[in-house]
Chains A and B, each alone.
Chain A
Amino acid sequence: MTAIMKRELSAYFKSPIGYVFIAVSFLFSGFFFWYFALSVGSTDISYVFLGMFYVYMIFVPVLTMRLMADENKQRTDQLLLTSPVGLMRLVAGKFLSAYIVFMLGDIVLLIYGVVMSFFAAVNWAIIFGNFVALALIGAIFVSAGLFVSTLTESQMVAAIGSIAVNVALALINVVATVVPVQVISDVIKQLSVFDRYYEFTTGIFSLSGVIFFLSAVVIFLFLTVRVLERRRWA
């Protein structure tokens, strides 16, 4: 698992993708920080996090598109799948490498909080809530991206597919509002990623929320393993 993770990490920083992702992350968070906090003299950086939610929805797929699609195309999956490594470890290694790069871009948001605390009183509960929420939603985006990447040989298809999945995940609550049957609407609402996310951003740290996000990650990773396994049996 560490071997695969290390390789993937080095691949991110041998190609521009790792740098580009972190740069885009810094660029947008810097802009939002200036726009929502500095320019209006506010310490509430919830909107910065919210902005980054949408940025990551689009940009995390750029990070994950290569993960398996490229292996499928270059036939290097033959090396991985014929090595004495369990599929679970393989998938975990891939996931962790992308997630580490994601967190390198994400961590700067905490630094903004620290910077602000030198000049004004900062509501750390809200900042931490937002940070944890974004870190969790990022894990979902990464795992979903990895899953879609496993399905195809084309990085382009992987990227577009993952963006579609991410948008769909974010829009579940909208679906809930248009479903006429109350029971179904309630069930769908419970699955809403965005509603759970919103809960965190108000500074409420709920264990059920954490479990919700982590289970979504586990489901996507599990599906990835299944896809790899199924290909063997096809």
Chain B
Amino acid sequence: MIEVRHLTKSYGPKKAVNDISFTAEDGQVLGFLGPNGAGKSTTMNILTGYISSTEGQAFINGIDILEDPIKAKSFIGYLPEQPPLYYDMTVDEYLSFVYSLKKCRLPKKSHLNEICEIVKLTDVRGRLIKNLSKGYKQRVGFAQALVGNPKVLILDEPTVGLDPKQIIEIRTLIKRLGKNHTVILSSHILPEVQAVCDRIVVINKGRIVANDNADTLARNLSADHKLILHIEGSSDEVKKVLESVTDVERVFVGRQVDERVYEYHVEAKEGSDVRRGIFKKLAARNYPILMMRSNELSLEEVFLKLTTGDEYGGAEKIETKFDKLEKGEEDK
């Protein structure tokens, strides 16, 4: 179990982490979601005793990390953002070094065999770490965190730099581990956190902006009633038609996709499904729909929604920014 109470970390006048509190129960996977520089790594470094907090307390299995760091650290397996690997060692040498470093008492051979099986390292155990690919290095880092079968796993962006297949493998692994460990996992990828975690803590600029069950949060953030369409035809006409569809509340014309093709953002009443209605009306007026999809919120939009309650403005801003980038006039 991990308990964090009013944690603050200041670097001079800047607060990297500002008064955050949360709890991760046993057998729970807690997702730590936030953009780069939100304070995720700082929080994790505090939890693992790598750096100290300026204020507040962090308890690992009820032990204050500052009061009895050695005992608290013995419960933790930590995979930092950059896996702490010694490139001059082979995987086997490295894992047995970590084994003795953590003063592990489990039967060494079978324990390390088991870990290598779990993270699929068995084939490369005799190879020098410096010769491994990024994906394998990440797995060695993961294996290192698992040595000693710690009760608490703290994983800082464990899937960064992996290929899609490996990402799925690692996610499955985390889910499995989550059943009998407390896992804290950080990520800036919303679907990843949604896929793996039971509870999500969203952090931005060092502050917690949401802390809820994954399901509840996902439901709140889901945007089935928001659609993005590409429709051929005069934008003014199409907009009028869209607005005339039952339950549609707001229509916003986006960028021009092609000649006579525009992008439209449609916001309908919450819980309503306007797709059929839109199709029928547009078909009747002979405006072909070239694309229609529900508007899944990007993390940036989630933040805007969580912090200001309005994600449309964000979408607009981001899109105009992309447009500018495409045209090569990035705002300076």
With contacts A4-B101, A85-B101 known, is A11 near B50, CB below 8 A?
no
Chain A residues with CB under 8 Å of B98's CB are: 79, 83
What separation, in Å, do the CA atoms of A231 and B48 have in the docked complex? Answer: 14
Interface residue SS majority, chain B: loop
Q: Which of B78-86, B178-186, B281-289 contacts A (4 or more CB under 8 A)?
A: B78-86
Count of chain A residues with a beta carbon within 8 Å of a chain B beta carbon: 26
CB nearest neighbor in A for B156:
A78
Closest Cβ neighbor of A85 among chain B residues: B101
Q: Given A3-B100, A78-B50, do A11 and B74 touch, yes or no (CB 8 Å)? A: no
Q: What does DSSP make chain A's interface, helix, strand, loop or mixed?
A: helix
- Judged by a CB distance under 8 angstroms, whether A75 is at the interface is yes
Given contacts A4-B101, A78-B78, A80-B101, contact A232 B51 (CB under 8 A): yes
A76-B78 in contact (CB<8A):
no
Indicate whether B159 reaches chain A with its CB closer than 8 angstroms.
no
Chain B contacts of A234 at CB under 8 A?
A: 51
Are A86 and B50 neighbours in the complex by a CB distance under 8 Å?
no
Q: In the complex, how many angstroms separate the beta carbon of A20 from the nearest chain B beta carbon?
A: 16
Choose among A11, A14, A76, A231 the residue that contacts B84 (Cβ–Cβ < 8 A).
A76
A84 touching B50, Cβ below 8 Å:
no
Instruction: Assess whether B71 is interfacial by the CB under 8 Å rule.
Output: yes
Is B88 within 8 A of A82, CB to CB? no
Contact assessment for B144 and A84 in the assembled complex, using a CB-CB cutoff below 8 Å: no
Task: Give residues of chain B (80-130) contacting chain A, Cβ–Cβ below 8 Å.
Answer: 80, 82, 84-89, 93, 97-98, 100-103
Query: Chain B: which residue is nearest A79 at the CB level?
Result: B84
Give the residue of A10, A14, A76, A84 whose beta carbon is less than 8 angstroms from that of B102.
A84
Task: Let me know if A15 is at the binding interface, CB within 8 A.
Answer: yes
Query: Known: A3-B97, A82-B78. Contact between A74 and B84, CB under 8 A?
Result: yes
> Are B86's CB and A83's CB within 8 A?
no
- With A2-B100, A4-B101 as known contacts, state yes or no: A85 contacts B70, CB within 8 Å: yes
Q: Which residues of B contact A (CB under 8 A)?
A: 45, 48-52, 70-71, 73-74, 76, 78, 80, 82, 84-89, 93, 97-98, 100-103, 144
Nearest first, the 6 closest Cβ-Cβ pairs linking A and B are A79-B84, A3-B100, A84-B74, A82-B48, A76-B84, A84-B73
